[in-house]
Amino acid sequence: MPRPSLPPSAVRPAVVRPAALPLVALPLAAALVLSACTGPSAAAGAAGPSASPSPSSVEPSTPASGGHGEAAPAHWSYTGAEGPEHWAELSDEYGTCTLGEHQSPVDLPAVPPAPTAQVELTTGAVTGAVADTGHVLQLTATGSEGGLVHEGRALHLVQLHAHTPAEHTVAGEAVDAEVHLVHEDAEGLLVVGVRVRTGAPSPAWETFLEGEGSGAPVRLDTADLLPAGGVFWSYAGSLTTPPCSEPVRWVVLADTVEMSAEQLAALGEAHGDSARPVQDLGDREVTAGVLVRTAG
């Protein structure tokens, strides 16, 4: 995918996002409908707002036309009449975007508290096709050598994608981008968030970008996507896209990685701003832990 060289000024600087708006209750007219498996053609099943979401719901693929009498999910966006403040109005299935009490992203404290948890991450090759979902660029895994263990749960990597700018803020600051590595088990989802700043080019992300739209499988090593440090913030949250389902366990790494100005511009050029505004933390506690990595 050829891309013109862009000066560093072409990439948005770190921005300060406004404070979260209070949640406003709206009537929920129907049960939340979630995909029962990872593929976009999976059969749908009804679940309440607290049900564990499917990995495809974290950043769903472009909706199918709705075969076998099933309606396609309501279209949403990041701006205008279909933007985040209106998501709950677009479909009864999106009611949790307003009704939910554990929504994501959130503003994180400048300094993580003392670590009290550990996540064991096995790095390794992940293979899959990179496609534009209509909202972000996403690699959906068809094979993965890595995974992680959290509180006795063994989860496997199902997909990864990037938002520009970062969705989680730290003391009010959003860096240039945020990568989400989405892991799944029978109980639900755990998402590892990696914040990205402008700097040196990333060979791994160059491979990702070159694979977009080619249809050819892309092979990445998850070790190349992570920062050197392993300290993270953690909290109970939600999907950051409709249907905004809860619960999702978030692990957001404190250290950042770098991509070049050109790579960040390529991530953002298709859809521009793809970050949901921060949500009210409410009575939730933000804890911290350490990511321990081993090679697969």
Which residues are tagged catalytic? 135
Phi and psi (nearest 5°) for 226? Answer: -110, 150
Which pair of structure tokens corresponds to residue 203? 């060979």
- According to DSSP, residue 137 is labeled E
CB count in 10 Å sphere of residue 14: 14
4 contacts: CB under 8 Å, gap ≥ 6: none
CA within 13 Å, CB half, 100: 33
Taking the C-alpha atoms of residue 157 and residue 191, their distance in angstroms, rounded to an integer, is 9
DSSP-based three-state secondary structure for 127:
strand
Taking the C-alpha atoms of residue 242 and residue 75, their distance in angstroms, rounded to an integer, is 9
Amino acid at 107: D
Residue ranges of E strands in 44-176: 44-47, 107-108, 117-123, 125-132, 137-144, 147-150, 153-163, 169-170, 173-174
- Beta-bridged to residue 32, according to DSSP, are 47
Taking the C-alpha atoms of residue 220 and residue 226, their distance in angstroms, rounded to an integer, is 12
Instruction: Please state, in angstroms and as integers, the Cα–Cα distance from residue 81 to each residue in 62, 84, 104, following that order.
Output: 19, 9, 21
